[in-house]
Amino acid sequence: MRILLFIAFFFCSASIQAQNFLSANEVNIFSFKTKAGKQVVIAKDTANAYIVYRYGSANKIEFEFPSNRKTSWTNFKYAFYLRGGGLANEAMDLDYLYFDNNSFRYVVYNTYFARGNTVKTGIKIIDLKTNKTTNINGINKTRKGSLSDFRSNNLLEITDEIFD
C-alpha cells in the first residue's frame, strides 16, 4: 500500500511540476499565458546555474531552450529602454529578453507606453533570413514575475536592441 501511495505521489508531483513548467530547483523569472492558450516561462535555477525558456500547452512543454544548460546564460540577451515623464513626455518602459535558435530570434517582451496607457506582453519570433516577424500576444493579467531585474543583476549581457 505504501508503495502505491509513493508512486501516486511521484506521478502527481511530476504532473504538477510539468503543468507549472518549473522543476523543483527552479524559480520563475517571468511567465504568462498567450491568447492562444499556451504557457511561456522563463525560469532559472535557484543557484543561478542556468536560465531556461519553456513554451507549450498546459500539460506539455513543446519547446525548451537551450538544450545545454551549462552555457545557458550566454545564449540569452536583455535589452531595455526607460523614459519617464508621463504622458507629456510619452513615457515608456520596454523590456526584452531574447535568444537565437537556428535562424530565428525569439523575443519575450513586456512593454508599457504612456500614450494610450498600453501594456503589451508576448513573444516575437523573427525569421533572421527573411526578417518576417510573427507576434504571439500574451494575456497581461496572467503575467508573473518581471524582466526588469536583469537591468541590475549582472546575469545577462545587456544590449541596446529595441524591438518596437
Per-residue pLDDT of 42-78, as tens digits, reads: 999 999 999 999 999 988 999 999 998 999 999 999 9
93 closest CA partner among 115, 64, 125, 62: 115
Q: How many domains does the chain have?
A: 1
**18 within domain boundaries:** yes
What digits encode the pLDDT tens for the residues 8-50?
444 344 333 334 689 999 999 999 999 999 999 999 999 999 9
Alpha carbon distance 3, 30 (integer Å): 37
Angle at 12 between CA 11 and CA 16, to 5 degrees: 115
**47 within domain boundaries:** yes
Question: What residues form DSSP beta bridges with 103?
Answer: none
**71 within domain boundaries:** no
Least trusted range by pLDDT, from 13-22, 80-89, 118-127: 13-22
**70 within domain boundaries:** no
The residue range of the domain holding 93 is: 2-64+76-159
